[in-house]
Amino acid sequence: MSPTMPPSHLPPAALAHAFWQAADLVARVMAGHSLADNALQRVPGIARPAVQDLVYTTLRAYGRGDFLLSRQLERPLQVPVVHALLLVALQRLEHHPQQAHTIVDQAVLAAGELARGRLRGLVNAVLRNFLRRRDELLAAADRDPLAHGQHPLWWQDVLQTAWPEHAAAILAAGNQPPPMALRVNQQRTSRKAYQEELQAAGIDASPVGDAGLTLAHPVPVDRLPGFFDGKVSVQDPGAQRAGEILRPAAGSRVLDACAAPGGKTAHLLENAPLELLALDLKPVRCRRVEEGLARLHLTAQVRTADCSTPARWWDGRPFDAILADVPCTASGVVRRHPDAKWLRRDSDIASFASTQHRILNALWPLLRPGGEFLYATCSLFPAENQAQIASFLHRHHDAERLHEEQIFPQAAHDGFFYCLLRKRT
């Protein structure tokens, strides 16, 4: 809850309470704040799953909801949190029309808490007007590029230019809930054995990749057998490709240059015992890496450092392998971070590309001749991926490309880019 939000007198289990909390979080995003600041963690546990579902579904469809709302208001609302409440309620009404009476009633109750009762009548009128004009308004939304694509228009233009045959499917995937997938810690158990443990717990899962399992339905991690004992981690199959592509030999000296939250770091160590150094810019993110490694019974040196300034942390010994999962627009994982597509600007692409350029140039000299370097992003934009690698290869004639793949988001996984390079001897 924002510091400026008045306390609520609604029962924590009521839909109105979830609307109230969700409206506050959506309003924060509309004001330019990211959900990455753990705002959801401040929602009481009993309400958190419902609030998160409302927030994420509303933000995935923000362009559509804003279109539907604008068609019903003569002028913009001056109370952002009530604007956000209407977005939340409209999304719910569109997808759960059989609950219309309850949704309208609970949204009006939430409005009473958010605006001290001043705008309950407006909320009631807008939602009932939507129900009356539902077919007309939804048809109009389907004809509008922003409302239909549910991504900023500049974002859609970049995808259409880069991937004309895939753009529609990419947008559709970005508007859907992501799958829940696991990576089995093969230092602790086998995938087959763990899948049997899941079945015994009533959880259906199917194999994916080298060590992954995709769940038929998401579950809380405390329902996963042995999760807190380190048997398994939650990780998208697309993200697991890093540990499948880069497989240093046992005993190799390895750098994970942008390690947090630590999933790829752990995967490398699950594949083989390594002398691994994991870096990240922020202490809080490094602590998350350390906590993850401790849960999985894995060991690495974790340091807070800027990987692009190795003079401040490198001891001069070359690495046998380097993983650079560089900062990027995260355009391939927006269904997991739906606030990102509305907070990003087209100018961010060039900004991230500049950072990536700097990191590549800084880290390449740290790799021994014959060593392998995996460049990774969770982006779909060529300026961060194919163009970045083409520029790098033009500058570094001692680099050769061994493998490259652009993974588009779909039902089974998120979107990623990987390029494995080797330094010529």
- The full 3-state SS of 308-342, as one line of letters, equals CCHHHCCCCCCEEEEEEECCCCCCCCCCCCCCHHH
Q: What pLDDT does residue 299 have?
A: 97
Question: What would the mean pLDDT of 394-418 be, rounded to a whole number?
Answer: 97
Q: Which amino acid is at 89?
A: A
| Strand (E) or helix (H) holding 377 | strand 367-377
Q: Which tokens go with 414?
A: 């998120």
User: Is pLDDT at 109 greater than 50 in this prediction?
Assistant: yes
Contact 19, 27 (CB under 8 A): no
Higher pLDDT, 48 or 33: 33
Q: What pLDDT does residue 178 have?
A: 94
Q: What pLDDT does residue 117 have?
A: 64
User: Is pLDDT at 40 greater than 80 in this prediction?
Assistant: no
Share of the chain above pLDDT 90, in %: 89
Name the one residue in this structure whose structure tokens are 């559509």. 64
Q: Which tokens go with 68?
A: 């539907």
Share of the chain above pLDDT 70, in %: 96
Contact 233, 263 (CB under 8 A): yes
Q: What pLDDT does residue 3 have?
A: 46
Cα torsion for 185, 191, 194, 196, to the nearest 10°?
180
User: Is pLDDT at 7 greater than 90 in this prediction?
Assistant: no
* Dihedral sign computed on CA atoms, order 386, 209, 175, 55: negative
Question: What would the mean pLDDT of 103-126 be, rounded to a whole number?
Answer: 89
What are the CA-CA distances from residue 65 to residues 79, 88, 174, 344 (Å)? 16, 8, 16, 18
Question: What would the mean pLDDT of 251-273 be, rounded to a whole number?
Answer: 98
Residues 6+ apart with CB under 8 A from 366: 255, 310, 314, 318, 319, 322
User: Is pLDDT at 156 greater than 80 in this prediction?
Assistant: yes
Average confidence score pLDDT of the chain: 94
Q: Which tokens go with 412?
A: 């089974």
Q: What pLDDT does residue 43 have?
A: 76
Q: Which residues of 375-412 are buried (b: 16+ CB within 10 A; e: fewer)?
A: bbbbbbbbbbbeebbeebeeebeebeeeeeebbbbbee
Q: What pLDDT does residue 114 have?
A: 82
Distance separating alpha carbons of residues 27 and 6, to the nearest angstrom: 15
User: Is pLDDT at 375 greater than 90 in this prediction?
Assistant: yes
Going by C-alpha positions, the residue among 348, 330, 354 that lies closest to residue 340 is: 330
pTM of the model: 0.93
Q: What pLDDT does residue 5 have?
A: 56
Q: Which tokens go with 13?
A: 């289990």
What domains lie within the chain, and their CATH numbers?
15-150 (1.10.940.10), 180-235 (3.30.70.1170), 237-423 (3.40.50.150)
Question: What would the mean pLDDT of 193-204 be, rounded to a whole number?
Answer: 98
Sheet arrangement for strand 181-184: 205-208, 212-215, 181-184, 232-234
Q: What pLDDT does residue 306 have?
A: 97
Length of the chain: 425
Tell me the pLDDT tens digit for each residue of 330-372.
999 999 999 999 999 999 999 999 999 999 999 999 999 999 9
Neighbours of 52 (CB within 10 A): 17
User: Is pLDDT at 46 greater than 90 in this prediction?
Assistant: no
Tell me the pLDDT tens digit for each residue of 184-198.
999 999 999 999 999
Tell me the pLDDT tens digit for each residue of 209-258.
999 999 999 999 999 999 999 999 999 999 999 999 999 999 999 999 99
Q: Which tokens go with 45?
A: 């546990």
> Phi first, then psi: what are they for 406, rounded to 5°?
-105, 115
pLDDT band at 101 (very low <50, low <70, confident <90, very high): very high
User: Is pLDDT at 36 greater than 90 in this prediction?
Assistant: no
User: Is pLDDT at 38 greater than 60 in this prediction?
Assistant: yes
Contact 204, 216 (CB under 8 A): yes
User: Is pLDDT at 59 greater than 90 in this prediction?
Assistant: yes
Distance separating alpha carbons of residues 144 and 138, to the nearest angstrom: 10
Name the one residue in this structure whose structure tokens are 């690698």. 389
From the list 307, 328, 378, 419, the catalytic residue is 378
- Mapped to the 3 state alphabet, what secondary structure does 228-245 carry? HHCCEEECCHHHHHHHHH
Q: What pLDDT does residue 37 have?
A: 62
Helix axes 62-70, 134-143, angle to 10 degrees: 120
Is residue 378 flagged as an active site residue? yes
Cα torsion for 145, 150, 153, 157, to the nearest 10°?
-90
- State the DSSP code for 34: -
